[in-house]
Structure 1
Amino acid sequence: MYIKFIREDVIEGLQKSSGIIPAKTGAAFLRTIWLEAKEDKLKIRATDSNIEFTGNYPAIVGEEGLVGVQGKTFADLIRKLKPGEISLRLKENILIVEQGKRRYRLPTSDPSWFQNFENFPNENKVLWSGDILKEIIQKISFCISDDDTMEGMTCMSFKAVSNDHIEICGLNGHQFALLKFKNEDIHRILPEDGFLISKKFLTELKKWLSEDEIEISLSNKRLFFRTQENKEIFSFPLSVYNFPDYHELLNKYEDHFNSVLEINKDDLIESLDRLMIFNSETSSTYFKLNENELLLYVEGTDIGEAYESLPCNYKGTIKNIVLLTKDVIDILNHFDSKIVKFHFSGQTEPCKITGDEDYSYMVITMPVEIEEEVYYTEEEVE
């Protein structure tokens, strides 16, 4: 094997591949990056036994061949080399890396460790925007559970519904995020029951995605992503868990969200951020709801207490409610709308949050049970 390439052409793909493989733990073959010189391309492959990454980059191939090296070491070396041409030469199971007068000798992996990766299924491919998919992951993934025992709740759900619409959602037991949009091509390739993506794969997928358009395809067991011109392929297995029937939850409360608070998102975030200083014990904020004014109250046993007042529009019968401060801040930061609406169904029932500029996106969170009544005076609020 003998090949030359420009460092700038491969460094980004090399960093992506090394980010997939385990650093120190796991079997040695999983810590290996495979380098193949073939047809004027340097092909880089990496896997953690679930995620598979393949990148194809321009090169001058003097002699074709395949070699495996310790992935983190090789990636760090190439990253720290100067811009410009680098050559790789295999000699007696040693990979020689050269740049000018710099020379490095790396031990290689047993060739029997190499296993072919899954091929991208061209028959089902559709084109989609990488930045849109990144935004969807951002809006949904914070509501996905990190607890492996919760099975389907550790996944993001893709489901085809009527009129070519897609529903993407996440659920962690006390929060639920749902985004609905129309896409005929994506709708066409989705299986009847949809599919689930594990949160741990979403994290790596988000790192890999760019703003460019990507091709998406499905097999029976894997989901594939490919950049245009076949430069990079990223794939991972679909989850076999079952996702809870969230439509049952939505249908149950749809007619009960009859108390609505309309408020400036940024003003509320700023107030809650200050009030969180006093969340030394309960981690929650008391909302007192009035027609044109929202009163916020937080008490910390050893720190003190805080009151803030914000203008709002409110219509409903619920007079007060308690919400987890940090959760509300996190939720609001995923909305683009300037004005958000809190739809209450009861003091201890689900609360739905929407925004006029966040089309077909909503988050549901659970209030905290009120243990005792809090009374305000004009002097306290002023």
Structure 2
Amino acid sequence: MKLSVLQEDLLKSVALASKFTSSKAQLPILGNILLRAKEGKLQLAATNLETGISTKLPAKIEKEGEITVPAKIILELISHFRPGQVLLEEEKGQLKVSSQNAKASVSGLSTKEFPNVPNSLNKKSFSLKKETISVLSKEVCFAAASMDTRPVLSGVYIKIGNNPVAVATDGFRLSYKDLKSENSVVLKDKERTSFLLPATIIQELGKSLNPQSEDINVELNDKEGQIIFESEEAVLTARLIEGQFPDYQKVLPKGWSVKTEISKDELLQGVKAASVFAKEAGSVIKLSFKKDGLSISSESNLYGSEEISIDSRVEGEELTIAFNYKFVLDFLNSITGDSVLIQTQSATSPTLFQNTKDDSYKHIIMPVRLQS
């Protein structure tokens, strides 16, 4: 293998591919990136067996070939090269890397042990608008669990068809997005109407798209238990998560005993202010619904307390309810509207937080039970 490629293009692709590698000592090959020179392109591929990526970039190919090299090493190496042409050459299991003022030799591993990573679709099942990927990344994925103790909670449940929705929950909060209003899902194959996939693959797909990207084509491969996304920039693969996703309909509030509409910016500043003491007291803040508005308070036995009052129109009974302030901030950072609707039935009931300008997006936060 021998080729030349722009340092800027190579660095971007290596940085993206490196996110899909694994540092498991028992499988060293999963810590490597596959470099393959073929048909006038340099293909990069990486996988951790749960998710994978294949991407191509323009290159001047003098000799076709392939090699795998450690992602961490090649990423750090290329990042220190100056912009301009970089020469890559495989020689006896070594990748020779050189530029105008630097050269290096990186030990590689044979491609024979590298897992197969799809670089195209076999059959298109449906398509997603690029805007939908951005919406899911911002409004839904953050509610998924970051730990793998319960795999179903680390994923995003997507139902496709006539009434498409996307849902994620970590057991303490839930994000629900109605996708029908956006015409965002175009179904081509009615063999499957729902699936559960890792939230991380949606987030990485969103990061890989550029403003000029077209719609993303998707293949559901039940035989391999995979979902494959194909964009102009890359092909991303994820293993579908097996298991029963929680019945989210039971969590969505059906009524309210108190509600208020409040300025998003004032609520955001109030929660941030209350977090000063909440950080020292289990991250708990209290929202008190009063006739003259909403107050946000926090208290630390060691450091003190604070209360912020915000003018708002409150309907219903007076009530005090406690939340993890981080969950409230995550929701507020996910919306762009000017005002927020908050409604609940009791101090222990799931509470709805919603952008007043977007009925398609509902965020539910479970209250913190306070000791009497």
Alignment TM-score > 0.5, same fold: yes
Instruction: Read off the aligned partner of 1:171 and give its amino acid letter.
Output: T
2:259 paired residue number:
260
1:236 paired residue number:
238
| % identical equivalent positions | 22
Q: Distance in 2 between matches of 1:70 and 1:184?
A: 38
What SS does the aligned partner of 1:288 have? strand
Q: Distance in 2 between matches of 1:184 and 1:210?
A: 18
- Is residue 215 from structure 1 mapped to residue 224 from structure 2 by the alignment? no
Q: Distance in 2 between matches of 1:370 and 1:101?
A: 64
Paired residues, number: 365
2:331 paired residue number:
331
Instruction: Read off the aligned partner of 1:173 and give its amino acid letter.
Output: G
Q: Distance in 2 between matches of 1:186 and 1:43?
A: 29
Q: Distance in 1 between matches of 2:276 and 2:115?
A: 53
Instruction: Read off the aligned partner of 1:198 and give its amino acid letter.
Output: P
Q: Distance in 2 between matches of 1:203 and 1:165?
A: 23
What SS does the aligned partner of 1:118 have? coil
Instruction: Read off the aligned partner of 2:117 and give its amino acid letter.
Output: F
1:248 paired residue number:
250
1:275 paired residue number:
274
Consecutive unaligned residues of structure 2, counting only runs of 5 or more, are none
What are the superposed Cα offsets for residues 260-285 of structure 1, whole Å, 9 maximum, x if unpaired? 11111111121222122222335333
Residues 119 and 42 of structure 1: is their aligned pair in 2 closer, same or farther, counting only changes over 3 Å? closer
Q: Distance in 2 between matches of 1:307 and 1:86?
A: 59
1:166 paired residue number:
164
Instruction: Read off the aligned partner of 1:180 and give its amino acid letter.
Output: D
Work out which of the two has the higher radius of gyration on C-alpha atoms and give 1 or 2: 1
Judge which range, 214-223 or 115-124, deviates more: 115-124
Residues 192 and 257 of structure 1: is their aligned pair in 2 closer, same or farther, counting only changes over 3 Å? farther
Residues 292 and 150 of structure 1: is their aligned pair in 2 closer, same or farther, counting only changes over 3 Å? same
C-alpha contact 1:272 1:329 (8 A) present in aligned 2: yes
Which runs of at least 4 in structure 1 moved beyond 6 Å after TM superposition?
none
Instruction: Read off the aligned partner of 2:163 and give its amino acid letter.
Output: H
What SS does the aligned partner of 1:273 have? helix
C-alpha contact 1:179 1:360 (8 A) present in aligned 2: yes
Residues 82 and 214 of structure 1: is their aligned pair in 2 closer, same or farther, counting only changes over 3 Å? farther
C-alpha contact 1:336 1:357 (8 A) present in aligned 2: no
What are the superposed Cα offsets for residues 324-343 of structure 1, whole Å, 9 maximum, x if unpaired? 33322222222222111111
> After the TM superposition, which residues 27-46 of structure 1 pair with which residues of structure 2 at under 5 Å, given as runs?
27-46=27-46
1:180 paired residue number:
178
C-alpha contact 1:222 1:237 (8 A) present in aligned 2: yes
C-alpha contact 1:165 1:184 (8 A) present in aligned 2: no
C-alpha contact 2:174 2:364 (8 A) present in aligned 1: yes
Residues 56 and 317 of structure 1: is their aligned pair in 2 closer, same or farther, counting only changes over 3 Å? same
Consecutive unaligned residues of structure 1, counting only runs of 5 or more, are 373-382
Relative to the length of structure 1, the TM-score reads 0.86
Instruction: Read off the aligned partner of 2:231 and give its amino acid letter.
Output: T
What SS does the aligned partner of 1:240 have? coil
What are the superposed Cα offsets for residues 268-315 of structure 1, whole Å, 9 maximum, x if unpaired? 121222122222335333333233322333332222222222110111
